[in-house]
Amino acid sequence: MNIVAFANQKGGVGKTTTAVTLADGLARLGYRTLLMDLDPQGHVAFSLGLEKSPGLYRLICLEEKLEKVVIQARPNLDVVCSDKHTEKVKRQITLSDFRESIILDALQSTRYDYVLMDMAPSLDVLHINGLVASDWVIIPTRLDAMAVDGVKEILLTMGEVAQRGYSFKGYAILPTFFDRTTRETLAQFQEIIRAFGSSVWPPVPQDTRVRESSAYGKTLEEYTSNSPAMVGFQDGQRLVGGYRQAMQKLLEMTYAK
Amino acid sequence: MPNKPLERRPILDPVVADLLAGMEQKQAESQLPRRVREKKIRERQKIRARRDQRVTYDLPPFLRQRVKELAEEHSVPASQLVTLALMRFFEAYDLDQIDLRELKQPSRSPRYDWNLIFPEKYFPNDEKKKPKK
In this predicted model, what pLDDT tens digit does every residue of A199-215 receive, in sequence order? 999 999 999 999 889 88
Q: Which residue has the higher pLDDT, A115 or B47?
A: A115
How far apart (Å, rounded) are the C-alpha atoms in residues A217 and A44?
Answer: 10
- Number of structural domains found in chain B: 1
Q: Which helix (H) or strand (E) holds A179?
A: none
The verdict on a CB contact (< 8 Å) between A235 and B111 is no
pLDDT at A197 over 90: no
Do A133 and A120 form a contact (C-beta atoms < 8 A)?
no
For residue B133, the model assigns a pLDDT of: 45
Average confidence (pLDDT) over B2-16: 69
**Cα torsion through A187, A192, A193, A197, rounded to 10:** 170
pLDDT in tens, A58-105: 998 898 999 999 999 999 999 999 999 998 988 888 887 767 888 888
Most confident of A52-56, B83-87, B114-118: B83-87
Q: Nearest residue on chain A to B16, judged by CA atoms?
A: A202
Residue B100, domain extent: 61-128
> In terms of CATH architecture, what is A2-256?
3-Layer(aba) Sandwich (3.40)
For residue A131, the model assigns a pLDDT of: 93
For residue B9, the model assigns a pLDDT of: 53
Average confidence (pLDDT) over B56-78: 94
Domain boundaries, chain A: 2-256
Q: Which of B13, B22, B23 sits opposite A202 (nearest CB)?
A: B13
Q: Which of B16, B22, B52 sits opposite A193 (nearest CB)?
A: B16
> How near does any CA of chain A get to the CA of B11, in Å?
5
pLDDT at B6 over 80: no
Percent of chain A with pLDDT over 90: 58
The verdict on a CB contact (< 8 Å) between B16 and A202 is yes
Residues of chain A contacting B13 with CB distance shorter than 8 Å: 198, 200-202, 249
The verdict on a CB contact (< 8 Å) between B12 and A193 is yes
Lowest mean pLDDT among A1-5, A113-117, A178-182: A178-182
Q: Nearest residue on chain A to B8, judged by CA atoms?
A: A197
Most confident of A120-129, A169-178, B26-35: A169-178
The verdict on a CB contact (< 8 Å) between B18 and A240 is yes
Q: Which of B13, B18, B54 sits opposite A201 (nearest CB)?
A: B13
The 3 state secondary structure assigned to chain B is CCCCCCCCCCCCCHHHHHHHHHHHHHHHHHCCCHHHHHHHHHHHHHHHHCHHHCCCCCCCHHHHHHHHHHHHHHCCCHHHHHHHHHHHHHHHHHCCCCCHHHHEEECCCCCCCEEECCCHHHCCHHHHCCCCC
B44 in any annotated domain? no
pLDDT at A48 over 90: yes
Residue partners of B120: CB distance under 8 A and separation at least 6: B128
Average confidence (pLDDT) over A222-237: 89
Average confidence (pLDDT) over A180-196: 88
Mutate to test the interface with B, among A114, A189, A233 (most CBs of B within 10 A): A189
For residue B13, the model assigns a pLDDT of: 83
For residue B48, the model assigns a pLDDT of: 79
pLDDT in tens, B71-109: 999 999 999 999 999 999 999 999 999 999 999 999 988
For residue B51, the model assigns a pLDDT of: 76
Mean pLDDT over all residues of chain A? 90
Q: Nearest residue on chain B to A250, judged by CA atoms?
A: B110
For residue B123, the model assigns a pLDDT of: 86
Residue partners of A133: CB distance under 8 A and separation at least 6: A3, A5, A101, A103, A104, A107, A115, A117
B46 in any annotated domain? no
pLDDT bucket at A256, cuts 50 / 70 / 90: low
Helix, coil or strand: residue A149: helix
Q: Nearest residue on chain A to B11, judged by CA atoms?
A: A198
Q: Nearest residue on chain B to A179, judged by CA atoms?
A: B23
User: In Å, how far are A127, A199, A220, A228, B25 from A235, measured between CA atoms?
Assistant: 37, 21, 22, 12, 13
Q: Does A155 touch chain B (CB under 8 A)?
A: no
Helix, coil or strand: residue A39: coil
Residues of chain B contacting A245 with CB distance shorter than 8 Å: 15
Q: Does B50 touch chain A (CB under 8 A)?
A: no
Closest-CA residue to A5 (of A125, A177, A128): A128
- Rg of the Cα trace of chain A? 17
Q: Does A181 touch chain B (CB under 8 A)?
A: no
For residue B22, the model assigns a pLDDT of: 85
The verdict on a CB contact (< 8 Å) between A183 and B22 is no
Classify residue B19 as exposed, middle or buried by CB count within 10 Å of its CB (0-12, 13-18, 19+): buried
Q: Which amino acid is at A106?
A: A
Do A117 and A3 form a contact (C-beta atoms < 8 A)?
yes
> How near does any CA of chain B get to the CA of A202, in Å?
5
Percent of chain B with pLDDT over 70: 87
Chain A from 224 to 253: CB within 8 A of any B CB: 235-237, 240-241, 245, 248-249, 251-252
Residues of chain B contacting A185 with CB distance shorter than 8 Å: 23
How far apart (Å, rounded) are the C-alpha atoms in residues A194 and A200?
Answer: 10
How far apart (Å, rounded) are the C-alpha atoms in residues A108 and A137?
Answer: 18
DSSP 8-state secondary structure symbol assigned to residue A101: G
How far apart (Å, rounded) are the C-alpha atoms in residues A76 and A70?
Answer: 12
Q: Does B23 touch chain A (CB under 8 A)?
A: yes
pLDDT at B128 over 70: no
B81 in any annotated domain? yes
For chain A, counts of helices (H) and of strands (E) = 13, 9
Q: Which of B10, B13, B23 sits opposite A180 (nearest CB)?
A: B23
